Amino acid sequence: MTQQSPPPPALGCRSSPVLKQRGQREVFCGLTGIIWLHRKIQDAFFLVVGSRTCAHLLQSAAGVMIFAEPRFGTAILEESDLAGLNDAHSELDRTVAQLLERRPDIRQLFLVGSCPSEVIKLDLARAAERLTQVHAPKVRVLDYSGSGIETTFTQGEDACLAAMVPVLPATEARELVVVGALPDVVEDQMLGLLDALGIGPVHVLPARSADSDLAVGPNTVFALAQPFLGDTHAALERRGARHLPAPFPFGEEGTTVWLAAIAQEFGVTPDRFAEVTDAPRRRARQAIAQAAAPLADKSVFFFPDSQLEIPLARFLTRECGMLALEVGSPYIHDALHGPDLDLLAQGPQISEGQDVDLQLDRCRAARPDLTVCGLGLANPLEAEGLSTKWAIELVFTPVHFYEQAGDLASLFARPLRRKSILGVAAE
């Protein structure tokens, strides 16, 4: 029979004081989300209206350049576009027409705002409205901002999904929507679990194409699969939908509690729940136990990156036996992160935002066994003798739900295993 999770801590981190500092933030901007969103939504094109820096970021963001066919591009603003906004709008119309002519397969076009387009106040909402009229019904044009002045890394996905919510058709049906872009294999596993529990109809946002029958209304309930979807959460509530708060589906415990919140809403019996989840729970526990051995009693320090930090700290401390020293997140939303904070025992410093130099000082002083940080910091910290896990890999790898729980643990264990394999020769 399935082993039970440890009881929730008497005192969680939900009421812990949060350290907020202001200084250099070593984070990606929201444009980075395009890297996975353009693959997820297969009939969409993401057109960034920005500078050469935006284009350069997109090709560098994954650490190496990916030269496959991209369904994204950058309309690079030039000196003449800055001179007059009317001209910029007509230039944008011309660029979009050129793009749609070359890519007749595109059904949804996202105009993505950037720092320069925000600063010159280029009204992309107006442009999207105008362009939708021009290219309807074949192409729907939406806009959102992925600019660094407004979004941090995964908030770009949030802004994108939030932009889709107002144009979803209305429905009175009682339906479940699972929100957040997941790798296809993981999404299919999740849909399989929900189906086995007898829950349905289930829709996902973002859908893989514009033709999905996704709709929203007052009888919609939604679960978040990703912890960075604050604006989408608010947009869905504005449409009358109701959120099912739960810890996020990382690890065996997270997945079980997340599914249980939905099962309860849909009146699934405990027997049925056990019947569906017992086997995958056992597998997940076994996989974690095998993968997490190097993590037991090791300390971990999170730099803020994707807002996955709090749920992952919960997973590492409760399921992998790690000790969290600092858990930094770019933003903390109580409605989203509260349930995970409840399960995270008091002790670690919770921090929101960043002054990277001060945080590096704390990290060096704490000498954690494992530091979770961005690509700009990882090699420098390794060179100082700290083991690191690049945070971006957590966003680019299938890590949700039961069957990936062991993979998730091994992502963290690999740097430690590697260090012990390389031994002295690595010095």
Partner 1 sequence: MKLTVWTYEGPPHVGAMRVATGMKGLHYVLHAPQGDTYADLLFTMIERRNHRPPVTYTTFQARDLGSDTAGLFKTACQDAFDRFKPEAIIVGASCTAELIQDDPGGLAETMGLNIPVIPLELPSYQRKENFGADETFFQIVRHLAKPMPRTTRVTCNLLGPTALGFRHRDDIQEITNLLYELGVEVNVTAPMGATPADIAKMGQAHFNVLLYPETGEQAARYCERTFDQPFTKTVPIGAGATHDFIAEVQALTGISADIDTDRLRQTWWSRSVDSTYLTGKRVFIFGDATHVKAAARIARDEMGFEVAGLGCYNREFARDIRALAKDYGVEALITDDYLEVEAAIEALQPEMILGTQMERHIGKRLGIPCAVISAPVHVQDFPARYSPQMGFEGANVIFDTWIHPLVMGLEEHLLHMFREDFEFHDAAGPSHHGGHAPQPIGPAAGEAGSMPAKAAPLPDPDNDNVIWLMDAEKELKKIPFFVRGKARRNTEHYAAERGLQEISIDTLYEAKAHFAR
* 43 touching partner 1, by CB under 8 A: no
* 271 touching partner 1, by CB under 8 A: no
Helices (H), 7-123: 34-40, 52-60, 79-83, 85-102, 115-119
* 94 touching partner 1, by CB under 8 A: yes
For partner 1, the binding residue among 13, 41, 44, 75 (CB under 8 A) is 75
Q: Tell the smallest beta-carbon distance from residue 204 to partner 1 (Å).
A: 22
Number of other residues whose CB lies within 10 A of the CB of residue 132: 17
Segment interacting with partner 1, rule: CB under 8 A, options 81-89, 231-239, 249-257, 307-315: 81-89
* 60 touching partner 1, by CB under 8 A: yes
Task: Evaluate whether 198 touches 266 at the Cβ level (below 8 Å).
Answer: yes
* 27 touching partner 1, by CB under 8 A: yes
Total number of residues that touch partner 1 (CB under 8 A): 67
CA 307/CA 154 separation, integer angstroms: 7
At residue 350, the 3 state secondary structure works out as: strand
What's the chain's length in residues?
A: 427
For partner 1, the binding residue among 7, 67, 137, 427 (CB under 8 A) is 67
- Residue of 203, 199, 201, 173 lying closest to 187 (CA atoms): 203
Please report, in angstroms and rounded to a whole number, the separation of the first and last CA atoms in the chain. 46
Q: Tell the smallest beta-carbon distance from residue 224 to partner 1 (Å).
A: 24
At residue 108, the 3 state secondary structure works out as: strand
Q: Quote the tokens at residue 367.
A: 């000498």
* 91 touching partner 1, by CB under 8 A: yes
For partner 1, the binding residue among 34, 46, 74, 402 (CB under 8 A) is 74
* 301 touching partner 1, by CB under 8 A: no
Cis peptide before 218 (omega within 30 of 0): no
For partner 1, the binding residue among 30, 33, 280, 368 (CB under 8 A) is 30
Task: Evaluate whether 220 touches 171 at the Cβ level (below 8 Å).
Answer: yes
**Tokens 């910290």 correspond to what residue?**
381
* 26 touching partner 1, by CB under 8 A: yes
Per-residue burial over 185-199, b = 16 or more CB atoms within 10 Å of its CB, e = otherwise: ebbebbbebbeebeb
For partner 1, the binding residue among 375, 395, 399, 409 (CB under 8 A) is 375
Q: Tell the smallest beta-carbon distance from residue 401 to partner 1 (Å).
A: 27
Q: Which of residues 106-165 bind partner 1 (CB under 8 A)?
A: 115-116, 118-120, 147-150, 152
The one-letter code for the residue type at 320 is C
Comparing CB distances to partner 1, the nearer of 2 and 59 is 59
Q: Tell the smallest beta-carbon distance from residue 41 to partner 1 (Å).
A: 15
For partner 1, the binding residue among 16, 21, 70, 245 (CB under 8 A) is 70
* 295 touching partner 1, by CB under 8 A: no
Segment interacting with partner 1, rule: CB under 8 A, options 44-52, 192-200, 309-317, 393-401: 44-52
* 52 touching partner 1, by CB under 8 A: yes
Long-range contacts of 190-195 (CB under 8 A, 24+ apart): 190/225, 190/249, 190/400, 190/401, 193/259, 193/276, 193/277, 193/280, 193/401, 193/402, 194/259, 194/262
Comparing CB distances to partner 1, the nearer of 30 and 247 is 30
* 56 touching partner 1, by CB under 8 A: yes
Task: Evaluate whether 292 touches 321 at the Cβ level (below 8 Å).
Answer: yes
Residue ranges that bind partner 1, judged by CB under 8 A: 23-32, 49, 51-53, 55-57, 59-61, 63-65, 67-70, 73-79, 81-82, 88, 91-92, 94-95, 98-99, 102-105, 115-116, 118-120, 147-150, 152, 357, 374-380, 382-383
